[in-house]
């Protein structure tokens, strides 16, 4: 059992699903109206989401209520598959297709992109664990194995700092820094990549998952 990789996919795949659902709720609440264009804010009248430009999304469906319903359904499917069914065959392709569909039915902009990256990590669920042992010397492998919990924790922190952290800081404390948003966004992608690589290496060191502890 590839424990680190499955924990990564379940955790951040769950985040992606919940974020897509949140976009969908904002669209449903806008009612049976048409968006102003292909790209539109999920929460246009919300002061809480104003700091994130109303949570941009896109849809090929000219009806916000239907768009929101579909976004919720697709995002819920992604959530269930990433957290419960990722060990199944062709899971990475299922998650990629769900992410693309999420993008086209109002599940957000960055959210589906993150979903595709997580789907890419899912390809390693069935990959041979010995590959990393051949590619990396023992020293770097041990370092990455040791750093995995720290990368994983930093990734969780950066994702939570983006949401709900940034809106909370702005809405309740009046704090806004555009540079902070870009830095946090960069950290979300960077730590996801680092935690994924370190997780692959850790699984190759302990493929049975018998001596785990985060």
Residue-wise pLDDT tens digits, 18-67: 999 999 999 999 999 999 999 999 999 999 999 999 999 999 999 999 99
Cβ proximity of 110 and 101 under 8 Å? no
CA pair distance 132, 142, nearest whole angstrom: 11
179, 125 Cβ separation under 8 angstroms: no
Is the whole model's pTM more than 0.85, yes or no? yes
C-alpha span between 105 and 165 (Å, rounded):
26
pLDDT of 148: 95
Three-state SS for 19?
helix
Q: What is the pLDDT of residue 139?
A: 82
Domain positions in the chain: 3-205
Confidence of residue 127 (pLDDT cuts 50, 70, 90): low
DSSP for 64-120, please give it: HHHHHHHHHHHHHHHHHHHHHSTTSTTHHHHHHHHHHHHHHBTS-SHHHHHHHHHHH
Question: Mind listing the pLDDT tens digit for each residue in 169-213?
Answer: 999 999 999 999 999 999 999 999 999 999 988 888 765 544 444
In whole angstroms, give the CA distance from residue 200 to residue 77.
25
């Amino acid at each position: 059992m590839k424990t680190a990789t499955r924990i990564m996919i379940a955790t951040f795949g769950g985040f992606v699903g919940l974020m897509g659902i949140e976009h969908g709720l904002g669209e449903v609440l806008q009612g049976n109206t048409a968006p102003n264009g292909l790209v539109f804010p999920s929460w246009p009248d919300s002061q809480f989401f104003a700091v994130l430009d109303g949570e941009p999304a896109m849809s090929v469906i000219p009806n916000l209520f239907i768009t929101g319903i579909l976004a919720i359904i697709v995002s819920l499917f992604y959530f269930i598959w990433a957290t419960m069914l990722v060990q199944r065959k062709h899971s990475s392709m299922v998650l990629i297709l769900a992410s693309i569909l999420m993008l086209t039915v109002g599940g957000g902009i960055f959210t589906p992109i993150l979903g595709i990256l997580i789907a890419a990590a899912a390809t390693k669920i069935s990959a041979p664990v010995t590959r990393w042992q051949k590619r990396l010397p023992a020293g770097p492998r041990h370092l990455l194995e040791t750093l995995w919990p720290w990368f994983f924790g930093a990734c969780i922190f950066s994702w939570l700092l983006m949401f709900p952290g940034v809106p909370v800081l702005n809405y309740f404390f009046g704090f806004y820094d555009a540079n902070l948003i870009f830095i946090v966004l960069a950290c979300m992608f960077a730590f996801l990549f680092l935690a994924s690589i370190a997780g692959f290496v850790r699984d190759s060191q302990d493929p049975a998952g018998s001596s785990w502890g985060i």
